[in-house]
Chains A and B, each alone.
Chain A
Amino acid sequence: MRKTKNKISTTRTADFFAIAAVSMIAANTTCDPQIIVDNSAEPRVNLVFQSTPTSTRFNDANRYSLDKLKHNKRVLRNLANLKSNWNGYGGESIDQDVIEKTEKMLSDLDYQPQIFPTGRGTIQIEYFKNDDNLIEIEISNEEIFVYKAQNGEEFEGSVEFDKLSEIITSFYA
């Protein structure tokens, strides 16, 4: 019985030094470790790392992509050339102000969308994962109108540009 107690005590002492060693190593990384020691009968150690952004976050193909931004600006320039009835249904050409408004928005967005013209002279930018998870943003001279569907929840309404980035970032969170 006494031997068993000593064994547990030795194990806990060994664990303490192991924790201390890990803590010293972690202190030299960019992460901020939190060490939680569980004092239950079975000695257990959980290391929780609250990591700061790493390079893997920038691997998303559409995030911070200069290539995508350049591509989208080319698409916008092409949309500026659309003539009346471009869609075979009397589609309206797109006002230069709407083109410029969209171009400015694109430059400020973390994630680059797909861009489409509508028949009423507005521009729609889209983020699409599947039919239940998408964002469609219609840009006109008057407003920025958002329809977002994500995990069974829907939102639609006019938003300010400042809110847009938040809506898109939460979509990819």
Chain B
Amino acid sequence: MLNDEIEDSEFLFRGVVTQNWDFENDRPTSATFKDSKGVSVDRDGGRDDKDCIDKIKTVNDFHAICKVMTKDVRDLDAVVFYKPVPENDYHSEIHDSNERIQMKGKKPSKIRERSIVVYKK
């Protein structure tokens, strides 16, 4: 059972499909971090990168997987909620704030900038 509070040092992993990959500049687009229901991510929960990557690859045939540190997200005044679901104990969500779910403009752009690509086809 994971702690409800996600630590600043934990990484948040997100799969990126080809439609959200900028092939000209070899990077994910910030559109990856724009979702009406909050941006779904997997917290590392003490796992290493390989375990996190392998778990995400079972969900979809992603072009790439990136990770961003929780502290980097919080420094942008976005919030991270731990929201486990039956098929994924590590499921979490990034919201704009406690009052607003959807991020737009600067926040998703900066999260993209601070994210690290840990897997690419």
Residue of A with least CB distance to B22: A114
- In angstroms, how far is the closest chain B Cβ from the Cβ of A115? 9
Q: Is the CB of A120 within 8 A of B34?
A: yes
Residues on B with C-beta less than 8 A from A120 are 34-36, 102
Residue of B with least CB distance to A156: B105
Residues on A with C-beta less than 8 A from B50 are none
**How many residues of chain B have a CB within 8 Å of chain A?**
26
Q: Is the CB of A124 within 8 A of B30?
A: yes
B59 at the interface (CB under 8 A from A): yes
Q: How many A-B residue pairs have CB under 8 A?
A: 79
Q: Is the CB of A92 within 8 A of B36?
A: yes
- In angstroms, how far is the closest chain B Cβ from the Cβ of A95? 13
User: Which residues of A (87-115) have their CB < 8 Å from a CB of B?
Assistant: 87-92, 114
Which residue from B34, B59, B62, B105 sits with its C-beta under 8 Å from A119? B34
Complex CA–CA separation, A121 to B39 (angstroms): 14
Residue of B with least CB distance to A132: B113
A72 at the interface (CB under 8 A from B): no
B60 at the interface (CB under 8 A from A): yes
Residues on A with C-beta less than 8 A from B109 are 134, 136, 147, 149
Residue of A with least CB distance to B16: A87
Q: Is the CB of B106 within 8 A of A156?
A: yes
- In angstroms, how far is the closest chain B Cβ from the Cβ of A44? 46
Map CB proximity to B onto A153-165 as digits: 1 under 8 Å, 0 otherwise: 0101100000000
Q: Is the CB of A121 within 8 A of B36?
A: yes
Map CB proximity to A onto B91-115 as digits: 1 under 8 Å, 0 otherwise: 0000000000010111001000100
Residues on A with C-beta less than 8 A from B87 are none
Besides A87-B15, A118-B31, A119-B31, 8 more A-B contacts (Cβ < 8 Å) are: A88-B15, A117-B19, A117-B31, A119-B36, A120-B102, A128-B25, A136-B105, A136-B109
Interface, chain A (partner B; CB < 8 A)? 79, 82, 86-92, 114, 116-122, 124, 126, 128, 131, 134, 136, 138, 145-147, 149, 154, 156-157
